[in-house]
Amino acid sequence: MTQLPHAPRSGLGTQYLELLARQGVDPVELTRQVVADDLVTVAYQGRFLASPVFLSAAERRSVAADLYQVHQLLTQLPDRLFGGDTGALAREVGMTDTQADVVQRAAKAGPPLMALARSDLYRGADGFKLLELNITSALGGFENTGINRAMLQHPVLASFVAEHGLGHVDTFQGIVDTLYAECAAHMDSGRRPVVALVDWPESFTTYEPRLKVMAALFDSVGIDAVPCHVGQVTERDGRLEAHGRVIDVVYRFFLVEEIATPADLALAEPLLRAFEEGRVGMFSRLDAELYGNKGALAMLSDDRNRAAFSPAERACIDRFLPWTRHVRTTATDAAGERIDLLAHAVAHQQDLILKPTLLHGGSGIVPGWTVGPEEWRSRLTEALDGPYVVQERIRPVPEVFPADEGQGTQELFLNWGVFLTDPQVTGGDGYNGCLVRGSTDPEVGVVSMSGGARVACSFYETDGDATDAPA
């Protein structure tokens, strides 16, 4: 097995663990209030880590700045690389002609796309690296602030947070603020707006409980939210309705990847047409996933596109993104040398991961170190010239947490899901909270809930700015 670099938790994390040890705190105590919170438990089924994570003020500022820079570059790719042709970018990253048409329609009809995203970050030996940037309104983890609030009911954590002046962000409020900004014409402040939380019929059967959680959160901020799927949205007298309620805004949980057939397009057409004609707001627009596509991220990484970016932009790309390439016959390596990509990927199997550009939630991902040489070569061959990328493996440094059994510590490998909003909308630097997923497996390919991971909330070190006041 490859020897992993070891890095202890941050200074705050180390101090917190030492405090727990001195106080003799049982880790079960730290999660008891979280498990008792119905809204949070629906989402995570009691799978919580016994400690939050901590970000220094410098780390938070750096991650937020890099995420915002990458978001801006991704949304500018049509102009920078395709002469303004959004459909050409869509087809290049693997979307079908139908999907490309859908995102073109959305981009032409919609207002400027606000920054709203959730990253997948690993902290490697040389800092945070961005594996994916999910740019969409269909973001999981919006309930994370509930974990912060529940954990703060424990006096040891509460005193530690107060002593060090730590803060946390209400991620859901940042999403609400972005919703109002992007759909301003449809969000009448004089009455409670009606927002339909619209999923796809197949996924709605399992995701409905979480949409009900979101509806309860919306109710707390003065918005009526109606969970439903696309097939439950009807049209009457020029207005869209869901369960008998006239809709002001479609909050979109269905994805472009789900519009795969003419029948799918027909199902979504009333919503698309109402948005194009200005009869309803849509959050977020259907072209959002185009920019969060793994293939779009590969275009930033590919040094053949470096001339399209300024020196400062290239420095961000080099610092923050792992080497990522579309699966084509030839490509360039990290040094910019032209290579036979398949031969390179076979030779570096233990250091690469194969990803489909369109699927989400870890579907279709093949970590090279988890399969045999024959299967790896076969999967690469099947992916050639298709909607796939290969990406450099980032080995997350192990971080120390309280042991589950209440004695000592254990090492976990974390995926940092940092949320991003537009600083001009929500203030601050765009950092909008963080949901961490942790695994005990040092060879984990994807740190995910479906893979047995558990979740933790985060606190950050403030630096005295007014916008840094603890929540």
pLDDT digits (tens, 9 = 90+) for 131-164: 999 999 999 888 899 999 999 999 999 999 999 9
Average pLDDT, the chain: 90
The residue ranking higher by pLDDT, 410 or 349, is: 349
For residue 305, what pLDDT is reported?
94
- Let me know: does 249 contact 282? Beta carbons within 8 Å: yes
Strand 233-236 to 239-242 pairing: antiparallel
- Let me know: does 156 contact 405? Beta carbons within 8 Å: no
Q: CB under 8 Å to 110, separation ≥6 — which residues?
A: 275, 282, 285, 287
Listed by start position, the domains of the chain span: 11-293+396-468, 331-392
- State the average pLDDT over residues 274-298: 95
CATH of domain 331-392: 3.30.1490
| Rounded alpha-carbon distances, angstroms, from residue 235 to 110, 259, 269, 293 | 20, 20, 11, 31
- Let me know: does 453 contact 415? Beta carbons within 8 Å: yes
Q: CB under 8 Å to 41, separation ≥6 — which residues?
A: 34, 35
For residue 444, what pLDDT is reported?
75
- Let me know: does 437 contact 453? Beta carbons within 8 Å: yes
pLDDT tens digits for range 43-71:
777 788 989 999 999 999 999 999 999 99
Is the pLDDT at 4 greater than 80, yes or no? no
- State the average pLDDT over residues 231-245: 95
pLDDT tens digits for range 97-136:
999 999 999 999 888 889 999 999 999 888 999 999 999 9
pLDDT tens digits for range 415-465:
999 999 999 998 889 999 999 999 888 777 777 666 678 899 999 998 755
3 confidence band (pLDDT: 50, 70, 90) = very low
Is the pLDDT at 179 greater than 60, yes or no? yes
Identify the weakest region by mean pLDDT among 2-16, 155-169, 234-248, 444-458: 2-16
Is the pLDDT at 5 greater than 70, yes or no? no
Is the pLDDT at 311 greater than 60, yes or no? yes
For residue 1, what pLDDT is reported?
31
Is the pLDDT at 360 greater than 80, yes or no? no
Buried b (16+ CB within 10 A) or exposed e, 291-304: bbbbbbbbbbbbbe
CA distance 471 to 469: 6
The CA dihedral of 378, 379, 381, 385, to the nearest 10 degrees, is 170
- State the average pLDDT over residues 218-236: 96
Q: Tell me the CA end-to-end span of the chain in Å, nearest whole number.
A: 43
- State the average pLDDT over residues 329-339: 92
Is the pLDDT at 220 greater than 90, yes or no? yes
For residue 405, what pLDDT is reported?
66
Closest CA to 51 of 28, 74, 77: 28
pLDDT tens digits for range 197-215:
999 999 999 999 999 999 9
- State the average pLDDT over residues 327-344: 94
Please list the residues that pair with 235 across neighbouring strands: 240
Question: Residue by residue, what is the 3-state secondary structure of 222-270?
Answer: CCEEEEEEHHHEEEECCEEEECCEECCEEEECCCHHHCCCHHHHHHHHH
- State the average pLDDT over residues 364-371: 93
Q: CB under 8 Å to 61, separation ≥6 — which residues?
A: 429, 431, 463
For residue 88, what pLDDT is reported?
96
The number of CA neighbours under 13 Å toward the Cβ of 126 is: 7
- Let me know: does 43 contact 210? Beta carbons within 8 Å: yes
For residue 143, what pLDDT is reported?
87
Is the pLDDT at 468 greater than 90, yes or no? no
pLDDT above 90 coverage of the chain, percent: 75
Count CB neighbours of 382 within 10 A.
Answer: 11
Is the pLDDT at 394 greater than 70, yes or no? yes
Query: Whole-structure pTM over 0.85, yes or no?
Result: yes
Encoding tokens for residue 435?
Answer: 């949901």
Q: CB under 8 Å to 277, separation ≥6 — which residues?
A: none
Question: Residue by residue, what is the 3-state secondary structure of the chain?
Answer: CCCCCCCCCCHHHHHHHHHHHHHCCCHHHHHHHHHCCHHHHHHHCCCECCCCEEECHHHHHHHHHHHHHHHHHHHCHHHHHCCCCHHHHHHHCCCCHHHHHHHHHHHHHCCCCCCEEEEEEEEECCEEEEEEEECCCCCCCCCHHHHHHHHCCCHHHHHHHHHHCEECCCHHHHHHHHHHHHCHHHCCCCCCCEEEEEECHHHHHHHHHHHHHHHHHHHHCCCEEEEEEHHHEEEECCEEEECCEECCEEEECCCHHHCCCHHHHHHHHHHHHHHHCCCCEEECCCCHHHHCCHHHHHHHHCHHHHHHCCHHHHHHHHHHCCCEEECCCEEECCCCCEEEHHHHHHHCHHHEEEEECCCCCCCCCEEHHHCCHHHHHHHHHHHCCCCEEEEECCCCCCEEEECCCCCCEEEEEEEEEEEEECHHHHCCCCEEEEEEEEECCCCCCCCCCCCCCEEECEEEECCCCHHHCCC
- Let me know: does 67 contact 419? Beta carbons within 8 Å: no
For residue 353, what pLDDT is reported?
96
Count CB neighbours of 386 within 10 A.
Answer: 12
